[in-house]
Amino acid sequence: MSMEWLNSLLGEFLSFDNDVWQRLLSLLEYDPMSPLTLTTGFFLFAFFIFGIGYFIVRNRAHLRTIYVVLFSLYFYYKLSGIYLLLLLFVAISDFLIGRGVYRRKVKELSTRPLVVLSVVINVAILVYFKATNFFVDTINNLYGSGVLDWESVVVPAGVSFFVFQSIAYVVDIARGEIAPLKRFSEYLFMLSFFPKMFLGPLVKAKDFIPQIQCERIVVSRDDFGRAVSLIAGGIIKYAIIAKSIGVLFVAPAFDGELGDGGVVSLMAIYGFTLQIYCDFSGYSDIAQGVALMLGFRLPDNFDAPYHSATITEFWRRWHISLSTWLKEYLYISLGGNRKGTFRTYLNLIVTMFLGGLWHGVGLTFMAWGLLHGVALALHKVWLKIVPGAKTLGRDMKPLCRMLGIFFTFNLVAFGWLLFMAKDMQVVGDMLHNIVYNFSVEDILPMVEKSSVAFILMGIGYMLHVLPRRADESLRCGVVRIGVVGQWLVMVIAIWMVMQCNMLLATEAGAAAGLPIYAAF
């Protein structure tokens, strides 16, 4: 009797165990409907498990590198599936090319052919994924639908970021700024480090490689507290403010679901202006915080960009790592300001135009790049012809600074209209609504209909106008409250995200997915 009971119990356990394993395996597989990000519940669980092993290997440099690389590659698999092979191809290609560049440099031979090879391979990847759909649609529109029967190309998450990172590595070797890495695992670490893998920030190899090769990892109490403040603040910006504004107001407004009133169009532009900042800067803060918890320091990517009083200042504060990359690897390569005034202006326009194409191949992105390129060139002209004109707002008198901030903010907001609109028809319609269909009477009904979104917009803009010292004081406060208080901050932030996700699922039908910049 006891043996029958034991066999029955064992059978039930094995059956239960098999069911559990099936569920676990399905969770571990790539799901295109549920891609992995730094704010998903699965990542939090996986990071906790990863952290236990990392604590054990953190001070064994080579083992630590292998361990983090494996987790990073799995992270990208959960994010993009089969496109993990593309990441590996780029890594192998430029690791080998980089070593070849160095050998030619030592022998005092021209490194140009290999650098060009790297650029061609990487740019070809970008062109295929970014431009194929645009070219196919253009030809079909010109010559009739179905002339080119081509399945739509899906852009791998963050392909632009790891491709740009890889190009910079080869160019830096050619310029003599760094020596090539001897271990492929270290290069794969630099390219695939999961906090920054698909949304940046782009890091300079000469700054990041020493961190990879450091024997001992030290995370001080201040570092941990700062990491918690970055993660909690980033979660609020990215997963609460940006997602809610986008789902509840901006997306419906751009799709025409909220009517064609000028007030709706104008507020949708201002809403997206805040959304894209909170989305990208919030995720960058989370990435910085996660990296800092592991003992790695990533550069700041944003510095209150809407405080800028000139377009030049804006690009020193917005997506700092990209603007630095464009300057060092594109603008300077085109000649920078070394070939006369006209070429300087032309190089600025070409650089920003190509920066627009980096975001996406389409008329709206081309127009966005040209807008910023021409604005930067005109600002340089302004500095030449106007005595006492300043590059940065902090050097201006208060009234000039206020006027400069107002003008720059609205110029940038108009640029974001080009960035968000699916085509130029939407741009034209929204501008037409603002000019010819603007009624103050529409404000109250609009706010009542999207009250949650407007409350969050107000909070977001108020937080953004706070001076830098207020932000630093808040982070110092999180450091001072100790570990227990810091974990409480994290729990509260995660709870708020869960409540927000339920709200979005209830009111909008589905919670928001990947960050905006994941498509670039």
Cβ 417 vs Cβ 430: under 8 Å: yes
* Residue found under tokens 């377009």: 311
Do residue 198 and residue 243 come from a single domain?
Answer: no
Q: Are residues 271 and 154 in the same domain?
A: no
User: Does residue 71 sit within a domain?
Assistant: yes
Which of these, 356, 348, 401, lies nearest to 376 by C-alpha position? Answer: 348
Position 486 scores a pLDDT of: 86
Q: What is the pLDDT of residue 511?
A: 47
Quote the number of domains for the chain.
2
Average confidence score pLDDT of the chain? 87
Is residue 409 included in any domain, yes or no? no
pLDDT bin (cut points 50, 70, 90) of residue 351 is very high
Report pLDDT for 305.
95
Contact call for residues 292 and 223 (beta carbons, < 8 A): yes
Whether residues 43 and 180 share a domain: the answer is: yes
d(CA 23, CA 117): 45
- Contact between 405 and 307 under an 8 Å Cβ cutoff? The reply is yes
DSSP SS3 for 348: helix
Look at residue 1 and tell me whether its pLDDT is greater than 70: no
Same domain, 142 and 182: yes
Could you tell me which of 170, 219, 234, 161 has the C-alpha nearest to residue 192? 161
Instruction: Give yes or no for residue 288 having a pLDDT over 70.
Output: yes
Nearest alpha carbon to residue 409 among 320, 318, 312, 309 = 309
Q: Do 204 and 241 fall into the same domain?
A: no
Query: What's the average model confidence in pLDDT over 108-129?
Result: 93
How do residues 294-347 score in pLDDT, each as one tens digit? Answer: 999 999 999 999 999 999 999 999 999 999 999 999 999 888 888 888 899 999
Of residues 512 and 264, more confidently modeled: 264
CA 401 to chain centre: 29
Give the domain-ending residue among 213, 246, 269.
Answer: 213
Residue 45: band (very low, low, confident or very high) from pLDDT cuts 50, 70, 90: confident
**If we measure between CA atoms, which residue out of 341, 402, 415 comes closest to residue 377?**
341
**Domain assignment of residue 91, yes or no:** yes
For residue 154, tell me if it sits in a domain. yes
Annotated active-site positions, please? 359
> What's the angle, vertex CA 8, arms to CA 3 and CA 14, rounded to 5?
125
pLDDT for 145: 64
- Residue of 390 and 49 predicted with greater confidence: 49
Nearest-angstrom CA–CA distance, 23 and 5: 27
Cis bond leading into 201, ω under 30°? Answer: yes
pLDDT at position 5 over 90: no
Q: Are residues 76 and 207 in the same domain?
A: yes
Q: 269 with 247: CB under 8 angstroms?
A: no
* Domain presence at residue 135: yes
Judged against a pLDDT cut of 70, whether residue 235 lies above it is answered with: yes
Whole-number percent of the chain with pLDDT over 90: 56
- pLDDT tens, residue by residue, 464-499: 888 878 878 888 888 888 888 888 988 888 888 888
The residue from 213, 238, 259 where one domain ends is 213
Neighbours of 252 (CB within 10 A): 19
3-state secondary structure 47-113: HHHHHHHHHHHCCCHHHHHHHHHHHHHHHHHHHHHHHHHHHHHHHHHHHHHHHHHHHHHHCCCCCHH
Q: What tokens does 5 get?
A: 């009971």
Return the pLDDT at 9: 47
124 lies in some domain:
yes
Tell me the three state secondary structure of residue 180.
Answer: coil
User: Where in 368-473 does DSSP place strands (E)?
Assistant: none
Q: Which of 219, 226, 221, 223 is nearest to 477 (CA)?
A: 226
pLDDT, average across residues 223-248: 91
Residue 125 scores a pLDDT above 50:
yes
Max CA-CA distance within the chain? 101
- The reply to whether 410 falls in a domain is no
Domain's final residue, options 182, 197, 213: 213
Average pLDDT over residues 396-411: 93
- For the stretch 55-102, pLDDT in tens is 999 999 999 999 999 999 999 999 888 999 999 999 999 999 999 999
- Integer-rounded Cα Rg, in Å, for the chain is 25
Interior angle at CA 506, CA 505 and CA 507, nearest 5: 100
> Does 44 share its domain with 179?
yes
Count the neighbouring beta carbons within 10 Å of the beta carbon of residue 127.
13
Residues 173 and 279 in one domain: no
If one counts every other C-beta atom within 10 angstroms of the C-beta of residue 78, the result is 22
Same domain? 244 vs 150: no
Condensed to tens digits (0 to 9), the pLDDT of residues 195-219 reads: 998 787 999 999 999 999 998 998 8
In a domain, 142, yes or no: yes
Dihedral sign computed on CA atoms, order 395, 313, 275, 233:
negative
**CA-CA distance, 181 to 179, in Å (whole number)?**
6
Structure confidence at residue 18 (pLDDT): 60
Considering the domain architecture, whether residues 190 and 242 belong to the same structural domain is answered as: no
pLDDT at 415: 95
Asked whether residue 201 falls in the same domain as residue 225, the answer is: no
Which domain covers residue 204, as residue numbers? Answer: 39-213
**CB of 379 closer than 8 Å to CB of 310:** yes
Are 185 and 299 members of one domain?
Answer: no
The arithmetic mean of pLDDT across residues 499-506, rounded, is: 75
Which amino acid, residue 270? Y
